[in-house]
Structure 1
Amino acid sequence: MASSSSNRVYIPTNARNNQYILAEFKPSDEFVSSFDNIDSCYERIARKLFLACEENGLYNVHMIANDKLPITRFHEESYCLQTEKQMLFFYNPKYHEAHKFYWQQGVRAKKVRLLFLATGDELRANAANFHNKVQKTLHDLKVNLGVEDAFKIRDHQHLTYDLFARVKGHKETYGYKLRSLYPRYEARKCEIPAEHTEMTYVTFNIPMTRALKTQFQHLLEDEHYTQFYSFIEDKFFSACGYKQISQAAFIADGRLPLVRNSKIDKSAQNSELQKLSFDICSEETQYKAHWDKNQLVDTLHFVVVAKASDNKDVGYGKFMNNVESMIRGLSQTLELSAQRQALNVRFFQHISYNA
């Protein structure tokens, strides 16, 4: 039954909501050649973009044309850091606003990325309205630029919370059904094409604290870290198997995991990012482990992916309860201190399509 507590996951009320939409397109050679140079082209796109954003009430938007992947993170201060492969945007959706552009002068990127960051309060409740605004902005941009290039649109939402919040004294929770995005948007008059893909997954990280190193010192004494990483991998996948979780990944090679649908993207990696592709329609076990025996990382990354069959009529609440139970079991095995350590869990929902 929809009202059953097993179909709801009770998340601390101090959980953080976040939403951003990434729209990508490749300006045609014909369009680019109508300008004196690539900088003039990008300047025109930026002007038209930010004008449309103002008209549609979108106040934190970034145009990126340097082939770096944008990553968003919560922070009380607003700033952007760049690495060779990434652009890291730190912001608080309640307060921060910006219209900025990024490209290397005189260099044409493979694609133009438009990053729309949701702002204000009640982001989850207003998610469909935000998506509608972005759709309208992209339509206006196409009209104003006189282009017909297709946009690849990815809507990303996530809830972040400390699994140990109750132990630390925050006992107030809210019950979420965690419905999938398509029916949520449909109910709120936000039209998503029938041809779309969705993905739901959970991530959590365990920092390599002094306490953890001390506890497993006997596994860290060799000239490489194979014993330690093999131990963590075995305990994690065993915990997943016990809870009948069949799609998961363990990353400990210094790279940031990115989760993708295998129908769209294949697994790949570069110096900073590890792309993990899962076939969510398959019931087969898909466990992936990437660790470097010669490197003791600062953070252990874990990913748990929901299969299509985990999407019940009422949502992903039952799946999330199962994942939480698995994480608690793993944390007990590793003897993590609930009082002294935050175990931040992120529940992700993605929907993507071309428009």
Structure 2
Amino acid sequence: MTLPTFKDVLEADARIRPLALVTPLLRADALDDATGGRIFVKAECLQPRGAFKIRGAANALLKIPLSVREKGVVAFSSGNHAQGIALVAKHIGMAATIVVPSDAPKGKLDSVRRDGATIVTYDRILESREAIGAKIAEETGATLIQPFDHPDVISGQGTCGLEMIDQVRAAGYELDSLVVCASGGGLAAGIGLALEALSPQTKLICAEPVSHDDLARSLHKGERVANEPGTHSIQDALMTQIPGELTFPILMRIGATGVAVSDEEVLHAMSFAFTHLRIVLEPGGAAALAAVLAGKVESQGRVIAVTGSGGNVDKEIFIRALQQAHLL
């Protein structure tokens, strides 16, 4: 597969409407006061099925030729990509099979089932989702759509970056930094393509769990390195083992960097977002905001946008975040 380009992002932006929404860019005085900067939060938690993944899923599936669609689509995901694929497949009449870890949040799996997709579970530690997905695709002839390392998925996610740049400029500002919740790097790489073309002075910073900071370490080292198997985090959406073969060179080319946030910092960001922005973020969707609130991104006097990339949180985790902030 060849690397996607900014032209691909522009084409995706026209293709994915109206399946994917133009989500609001939010701000609050309390957030600026807490950080010393002008901070904007892209509320991708308000997308259909509650996450940015609908962008890449819509672009990838809508590009599948009509003659091939009857064989269906297969994807592997911890939940949000699964929901995006299932919803778009339902919309265009494709059968969908989704390979998900057995410990994926129940709410995400329920949504996938409601949209008519078939779920195949696997052990996150002992089994390879890539191998399972590839086998299903080979046996059925279905099109395999990877969650991040796919050019059409990357291009679709890049539409989020187009919107953020336009929305910040409409508010009268230019971005110093853009912080993105990151795992395999699909959203980060797509946004990076938009920044490279439209706002090259903006620094792109990837936020990951402390136990799963393969992207940050890879960007620092200049080559792809993997996480140790068996690590855990409540940031389940950000648990990819190694950066993508397509996403990593894009992020290296534009000079992206990475930071890591703890589960406790993420829980604080979740409660902060609920209190001051009136949005619900899941742990992985709050990593970028957590990085700024925890002082891991220089914010004093800076204009910064962060992705609130998903809101599909199990109620037990959300209650934990509110209890930690003494809101319950």
| TM-score past 0.5 threshold | no
Tell me which protein shows more helix as a share of its residues: 2
- Structure-1-length-normalised TM-score: 0.28
Bigger relative contact order, structure 1 or 2 (CA pairs below 8 A, ≥6 apart): 1
Larger Rg: 1
- Structure-2-length-normalised TM-score: 0.29
